[in-house]
Structure formats: structure tokens, C-alpha cells
């Protein structure tokens, strides 16, 4: 009986080992077949790739399709509202992308004068985009007469100075357009305060009008804002005694405009706030 059991076990072990050997050989055969198939596929793909023609060296880059798309969108816009909407869409692109698109559109003269003004406005509204100076520079260079004058007038909001000619505005913009607006305002602050001391009262108040509070709030560092307020207080304290009621009233308006503390103002200007509202006007 024991011999029969041993014989059965021996047969079972032999069968099991045979099955394992068979499965191993089958797996190796399948693996060889798969590798052969894979090598064949790689060879086929290599042949397809090598058969494709190489693009010509002077073939236009794919991004020109994007420029053409914007150009077509502006050209086919039905009215001013549609082009204004397109300008707003363009202004929310990444600064590098929107600048590149507008460089192409302005240089190609594919935008009308009115549309160029809409584009400039979209990039400068509410304090302006971070690449506003680059876009204004494009307007000065390739925008046409109206866009150039519009850009010149708005450059004052970053330069804090009065440009008397287009050439003067273009020279300033060329020197500053590539820099971050925060850095530009740092330089503008120093030049503004120096010019403020060298100008008569009327010119000084005209200079104050060039400072856009939205630009100052959005891009002015704490140092810039503090320097402006401190400089204005010093300027008022030095000259307020010479001003008539009209100039004191204007100074009080500028103090409110720049959020200056009333207690720091010179007495002739501070006294203006003590008057009834009906008398201040």
C-alpha cells in the first residue's frame, strides 16, 4: 500500500515538473515573438519618420498662425464694441505673449487707428498692465499720429513729467519701457521731486496732475509712496505762505488726492479744511 502511495506521488511530481518546464518554454517563445514584433514596429516607425520631408529653413514659425488669427479677428469684428472686447482679451494674455502679438499687429499695419487706440486703452486702464510701457512704446513707434499722441499723454502717468514733444516722450519711453514699472516709478519720483522745487506754482501743480493715483497705488512701492507724500509736505511747507487762497485750495485738493494727513500740512492749507464745505468750493 505504501509503495502505491509513493508511486502516485512520484508520478504527480513528474507531471508537475513537466508542466512547469512546458510553461517556461511557452513563455520564452511568446517573449521572443513579442520582441520580434516590437523590433519590427520600431523599424517601421523609423522608416516612416525618415521618409518625412524636413521643413525648409525659411518656413515661417507656427506662432505666425496665432498672429494671423488675432489679425483676422480684428479685421472681421463687426463694430467698435467687438474690437474693444478683443483688445480686452488680448490684454489678459501673459505679458510676453500679448507684447509679441501686438508687435506683429502694429508692424503689419493690420489695425485701424481707432482700434489701436482701443488696444492702448486696454493695456493702460486701471493703472495699466505690467507691460503697459512696452505697449505704449509700440504706440509711439508704429501706432500712427493719433496713437502716438495718446501714448505720449498717458506716458506722463509713469514718467511724472510733462512732455513737450513726441520726440521727448519717445526718448523717455525707449529708455524705460523694458524695465519693471516699480523701478521706473522709483526713478520718476526722484526726478519729479527735483523738478517740483525748480518750478513755479502753476507748473508745480501741473506736474502734480501727471501722477495717476491708480498707477501709484498699483505699482508704487512703500518707498515711492512715502517719498511722494514727504516731498509734497516739504514743498507745501516751503511755499504755502506765498500762495493766495486759490493755490491753497488747490494744495488742499492735492492733499486729499494723495491721502496726506491734515495735521502735517502747513497752516494756510490746513486752515482750508476748517471752512464749511460750501465755502471751500
pLDDT tens string 118-145:
999 999 999 999 999 999 999 999 878 8
Which is higher by pLDDT, 137 or 54? 137
Q: What is the mean pLDDT of residues 205-222?
A: 93
Taking 60 as the threshold, does the pLDDT of residue 249 lie above it?
A: yes
For position 262, what pLDDT does the model report? 84
Taking 60 as the threshold, does the pLDDT of residue 180 lie above it?
A: yes
CA distance 240 to 245: 10
Taking 80 as the threshold, does the pLDDT of residue 259 lie above it?
A: yes
Among residues 215, 133, 212, 142, the alpha carbon closest in space to that of 174 is found at 133
Query: Which of 5-14, 50-59, 85-94, 238-247 is predicted least confidently?
Result: 50-59
CA distance 77 to 7: 93
- Residues constituting the chain: 281
Taking 70 as the threshold, does the pLDDT of residue 22 lie above it?
A: no
Q: Residue 21: which pLDDT band, with cuts at 50, 70 and 90?
A: very low
For position 146, what pLDDT does the model report? 87
Q: What pTM was estimated for this model as a whole? A: 0.71
Q: Residue 40: which pLDDT band, with cuts at 50, 70 and 90?
A: low
For position 3, what pLDDT does the model report? 56
For position 170, what pLDDT does the model report? 94
Which is higher by pLDDT, 127 or 48? 127
Q: What is the mean pLDDT of residues 25-46?
A: 51
Which is higher by pLDDT, 143 or 35? 143
Q: Residue 45: which pLDDT band, with cuts at 50, 70 and 90?
A: very low
Taking 80 as the threshold, does the pLDDT of residue 182 lie above it?
A: yes
pLDDT, the chain, mean = 81
CA distance 152 to 138: 11
Q: What is the mean pLDDT of residues 221-244?
A: 92
Taking 50 as the threshold, does the pLDDT of residue 49 lie above it?
A: no
Q: Which are the contacts of 272, defined by CB distance < 8 A and separation ≥ 6?
A: 248, 249, 251, 252, 280
| DSSP alpha helix (H) spans, the chain | 2-51, 63-76, 80-91, 95-107, 113-124, 132-142, 144-159, 166-176, 181-198, 201-208, 213-219, 222-239, 245-257, 267-270, 277-280
Does residue 130 contact residue 183 with C-beta atoms inside 8 Å? no
Taking 70 as the threshold, does the pLDDT of residue 189 lie above it?
A: yes
Q: Residue 277: which pLDDT band, with cuts at 50, 70 and 90?
A: low
For position 28, what pLDDT does the model report? 53
Residue 9 burial (CB < 10 Å; 0-12/13-18/19+)?
Answer: exposed
Q: Residue 272: which pLDDT band, with cuts at 50, 70 and 90?
A: confident
Which is higher by pLDDT, 217 or 63? 217
Amino acid at each position: 500500500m505504501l509503495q502505491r502511495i509513493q508511486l502516485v506521488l512520484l508520478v504527480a511530481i513528474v507531471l508537475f515538473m513537466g508542466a512547469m518546464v512546458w510553461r517556461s518554454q511557452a513563455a520564452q517563445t511568446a517573449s521572443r515573438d513579442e520582441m520580434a514584433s516590437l523590433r519590427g514596429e520600431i523599424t517601421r516607425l523609423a522608416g516612416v519618420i525618415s521618409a518625412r520631408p524636413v521643413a525648409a529653413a525659411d518656413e515661417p514659425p507656427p506662432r505666425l498662425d496665432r498672429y494671423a488669427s488675432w489679425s483676422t479677428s480684428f479685421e472681421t469684428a463687426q463694430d467698435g464694441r467687438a474690437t474693444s472686447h478683443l483688445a480686452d482679451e488680448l490684454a489678459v494674455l501673459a505679458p510676453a505673449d500679448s507684447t509679441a502679438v501686438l508687435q506683429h499687429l502694429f508692424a503689419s499695419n493690420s489695425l485701424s487707428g481707432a482700434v489701436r487706440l482701443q488696444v492702448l486703452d486696454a493695456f493702460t486702464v486701471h493703472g495699466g498692465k505690467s507691460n503697459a510701457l512696452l505697449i505704449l512704446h509700440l504706440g509711439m513707434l508704429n501706432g500712427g499720429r493719433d496713437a502716438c499722441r495718446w501714448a505720449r499723454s498717458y506716458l506722463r502717468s509713469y514718467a511724472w513729467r510733462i512732455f513737450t514733444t513726441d520726440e521727448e516722450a519717445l526718448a523717455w519711453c525707449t529708455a524705460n519701457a523694458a524695465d519693471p514699472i516699480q523701478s521706473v516709478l522709483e526713478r520718476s519720483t526722484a526726478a519729479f521731486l527735483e523738478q517740483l522745487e525748480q518750478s513755479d506754482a502753476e507748473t508745480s501743480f501741473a506736474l502734480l496732475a501727471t501722477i495717476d493715483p491708480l498707477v501709484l497705488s498699483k505699482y508704487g512701492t512703500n518707498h515711492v509712496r512715502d517719498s511722494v507724500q514727504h516731498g509734497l509736505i516739504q514743498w507745501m511747507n516751503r511755499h504755502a505762505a506765498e500762495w493766495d487762497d486759490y493755490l491753497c485750495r488747490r494744495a488742499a485738493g492735492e492733499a486729499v488726492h494723495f491721502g496726506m494727513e491734515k495735521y502735517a500740512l502747513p497752516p494756510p492749507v490746513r486752515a482750508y479744511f476748517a471752512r464749511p464745505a460750501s465755502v471751500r468750493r
